[in-house]
Amino acid sequence: MIKAENLWKSFPMRRDRPGLKEFVVNAPKYLKDNTNRFWALKGVSLSVKKGESLGIIGRNGAGKSTLLSLLLGVAKPNEGSIEVSGNRTPLLELGAGFHPDLTGTENIIINGVLLGHTEKEIRERLDSIIAFTELGDFINMPIRTYSSGMQMRLAFSIAIHTSPEVLLIDEILAVGDESFQRKSGKALMNLINGGVTTVYVSHSMDAIKKTCDRAIWLEQGEIRAQGETGLVVEEYLKAQGGSGGGSDG
């Protein structure tokens, strides 16, 4: 279950980072200064019930990723409250937490533990995680030798095998090849049908329509529309000039 109310989030807009001297002299100003700030989110509220999946769409810079990082808890809102119950599993960025010089297997273990599991729990699931990736002998190679699609296979496989309760996904799935996209899509649907709460950010309207019960359209940090996925997507595409292949779904 996710419940977020009136989220505001801003970032400092400064052309140059202050140097040490400047910082020390103006320390109170830099620590307090709220004037030149870019507001990435302006009063966004949302709630996702347990087992529901919410799609978030919008143009680049609309605040989608900021919203996800607030829901994940790696960034804190300036205002507003967030309540998330359940073990949060992010699928945000390729290779976040992966070390290029470690092998696939070593990365699975360290990543699994970073996601909040004990080493023993991960080792018990190691075989099924590796099997799902279909990486073969590559699993024992340093992941700097992997293509981005292969890294995504690894990240996705870890995430779905670590009993997620709340999945936060940012676009990542678009990287894989056709067959893995089908496979991961199916695995994702299984999780969602099995009661996992999902927030899914994507520019692929087809993926959003396939996966999500509801959708939110973000524009310039505010919710422009929300509701049943098909309707929101249609409205969004219309506003973008009707281009793109999403209208055939």
Partner 1 sequence: MQINRKTRQQLDLLKLLVKKEVTLRYKRTYLGFLWSLLNPILTGVVLFIAFNIFMRFEVENFALFIMAALFPWTWFSASVTMSANILTSNVSLIKKVIFPKHFLLLATIIAQLVNFIFSLPVLIGLTYLYGSAPSLNWLIGIPVLVLIQFVVIYGLSLLISIANAFFRDLEYLVNVLISLLFWMTPIIYPLEAVPEQFRSLLVLNPVTYLMQAWRDLFFSNIINWHNIFISMITAAVVLIVGLLVFKKLDRKLDEVL
The interaxial angle of helices 148-160 and 104-114, nearest 10 deg, is 40
User: Applying CB under 8 A, which part among 85-93, 180-188, 207-215, 221-229 lies near partner 1?
Assistant: 85-93
Taking the complex as a whole, how short is the minimal distance between the CB of residue 15 and partner 1, in angstroms?
A: 14
Judged by CB under 8 A, which of 51, 61, 97, 230 binds partner 1? 97
How far is residue 227's CA from residue 60's CA, in Å, rounded to a whole number? Answer: 21
Given the complex with partner 1, which of 101 and 178 has the nearer CB atom? 101
Token pair belonging to 42: 């302006």
If one asks whether residue 61 binds partner 1 (CB under 8 A), the answer comes out as no
Number of Cβ atoms within 10 Å of the Cβ of 60 = 7
Which of 99, 183, 203, 224 is close enough to bind partner 1 by CB under 8 A? Answer: 99
Q: Does 92 bind partner 1 (CB under 8 A)?
A: yes
Exactly one of 83, 119, 124, 228 binds partner 1 (CB under 8 A); which one? 119
Under the binding rule (CB under 8 A), the answer on residue 161 touching partner 1 is no
231 lines the binding site for partner 1 (CB under 8 A)? no
Least separation in angstroms between CB 239 and partner 1 = 30
Residue with smaller CB distance to partner 1, 118 or 193:
118
Residue placing its CB nearer to partner 1 in the complex, 172 or 215: 172
**How many chain residues interact with partner 1 (CB under 8 A)?**
35
Query: How large is the angle between the packed helices 178-193 and 148-160, nearest 10 degrees?
Result: 20
Does residue 212 interact with partner 1 by CB under 8 A?
no
Taking the C-alpha atoms of residue 119 and residue 216, their distance in angstroms, rounded to an integer, is 37
Shortest Å distance, C-beta 126 to partner 1: 14
Q: Please report where in the chains the tokens 């009063």 appear, as a residue.
A: 43
Q: Does 32 engage in binding with partner 1 (CB under 8 A)?
A: no
101 lines the binding site for partner 1 (CB under 8 A): yes
| Binder among 25, 74, 189, 239 for partner 1 (CB under 8 A) | 74
d(CA 134, CA 99): 20
When asked if residue 72 is in the footprint of partner 1 (CB under 8 A), the reply is yes
Pairwise CA distance, residues 153 & 26, whole Å: 48
Tokens at 155, concatenated: 């990240």
Burial (0-12, 13-18, 19+ Cβ within 10 Å), 123:
middle
Check residue 110 for interaction with partner 1 (CB under 8 A).
yes
Rounded distance between C-alpha atoms, residue 92 and residue 99, angstroms:
16
Which of these, 98, 37, 40, lies nearest to 67 by C-alpha position? Answer: 40
For position 20 contacting partner 1 by CB under 8 A, the verdict is yes
In terms of C-beta density within 10 A (0-12 exposed, 13-18 middle, 19 or more buried), how is residue 3 classed? middle
**Rounded CA separation 6/96 (Å):** 29
Binding site for partner 1 (CB under 8 A): 11-12, 17-20, 23, 30-31, 69, 72-76, 88, 90, 92-93, 95-97, 99, 101-102, 109-110, 113-120
